[in-house]
């Protein structure tokens, strides 16, 4: 895995022209060495500092930064436009895996292995140094590429010793950057910049000893108006209790309208 990432980094990010009426911009293939997942809410007054940290991380080479907006703060006056019960459920699953019943925002989970308060940048970066993907994902790999009108994903967990059940392959679709004027609630009167807000995530399959090969139509993943967005594929281990475990490997592709 390290050799593959090193080779990709050596040639820089690959920009591929994409044709067809649905996609007229460029695809950017980005190597991934760290996965940082932020659980956040537009209705949480302590979340904007964590959002700014995530924005900085998203711009750094090798870092896949994802923002899962939860829905349990909607009752205090502002309904998060990105919030979903599915995102909240993923956070609860991590809490169970970490042995706690408490969920909160802003929370960061690093590579599926450890968590920290999302606004504590020093602690987040310390976890990134301590728990890189390569610490458990040796021999695992995920690749994504665009082939004409489809997104081709391959994943393999051969030699990766994560224990538990077979790893699952997860696809995450996210917006590049959005600005939202908050009209009520704790952040009323502010405009919040959200980076890599997750629009959808789904399990594509389970690794069962053989490489996974999956093709998805691009028009199923993009918006008609052609906004900048990205896709991430995560190969994640699963504990014996069915909880999310360490992320073994990941890949990231971004679409840019201009």
List, in order of start, the domains of the chain with CATH numbers.
2-256 (2.60.40.1930)
- CA separation for the pair 150, 218 (Å, rounded): 5
- CA separation for the pair 9, 28 (Å, rounded): 13
Whether this model's pTM surpasses 0.75: yes
Q: Minimal CA–CA distance to 29: which of 12, 53, 43, 6? A: 12
Q: Which helix (H) or strand (E) holds 172?
A: strand 165-175
For residue 124, count other CB atoms closer than 10 A to its CB.
23
Beta strands in 19-95 (DSSP E): 26-30, 32-40, 62-69
Q: DSSP for 186-232?
A: TTTT-EEEEESBEEEEEEEEE--SS-EEEEEEHHHHS-TT---EEEE
- Please enumerate, as own/partner, the contacts of 87-91 that have beta carbons within 8 Å and a separation of 24 or more: 87/39, 87/198, 87/201, 90/39, 90/201, 90/244, 91/39
The parts of the chain modelled with pLDDT lower than 70 are 1-25, 159-164, 222-227, 258
In a 13 Å sphere around the CA of 123, the CA atoms on its Cβ side amount to 11
With H, G, I as helix, E, B as strand and everything else as coil, classify residue 54: helix
Helix axes 48-58, 121-130, angle to 10 degrees: 40
User: What is the per-residue pLDDT for 58?
Assistant: 97
User: What is the per-residue pLDDT for 147?
Assistant: 85
Question: What is the phi/psi pair of residue 107, to 5°?
Answer: -120, 135
């Amino acid at each position: 895995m390290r050799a593959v990432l090193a080779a990709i980094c050596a040639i820089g990010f690959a920009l591929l022209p994409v044709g067809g009426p649905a996609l007229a911009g460029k695809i950017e293939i980005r190597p991934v060495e760290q996965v940082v997942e932020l659980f956040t809410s537009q209705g949480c007054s302590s979340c904007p500092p964590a959002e700014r940290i995530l924005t900085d991380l998203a711009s750094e080479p090798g870092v896949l930064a994802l923002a899962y907006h939860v829905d349990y703060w909607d009752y205090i006056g502002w309904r998060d436009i990105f919030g979903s019960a599915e995102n909240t459920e993923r956070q609860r699953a991590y809490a169970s895996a970490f042995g706690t019943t408490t969920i909160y925002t802003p929370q960061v989970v690093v590579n599926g292995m450890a968590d920290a308060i999302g606004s504590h940048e020093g602690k987040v970066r310390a976890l990134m140094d301590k728990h890189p993907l390569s610490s458990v994902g040796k021999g695992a790999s995920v690749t994504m590429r665009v082939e004409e009108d489809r997104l081709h994903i391959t994943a393999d967990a051969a030699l990766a010793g994560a224990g538990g059940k077979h790893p699952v392959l997860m696809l995450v679709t996210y917006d590049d950057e959005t600005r939202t004027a908050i009209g009520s609630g704790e952040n009323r009167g502010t405009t919040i910049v959200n980076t890599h807000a997750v629009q959808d995530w789904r399990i594509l399959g389970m690794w069962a000893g053989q490489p996974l090969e999956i093709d998805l139509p691009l028009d199923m993943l993009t918006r008609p108006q052609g906004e900048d967005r990205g896709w991430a594929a995560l190969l994640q281990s699963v504990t014996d209790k069915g909880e999310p475990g360490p992320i073994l490997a990941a890949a990231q592709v971004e679409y840019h309208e201009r």
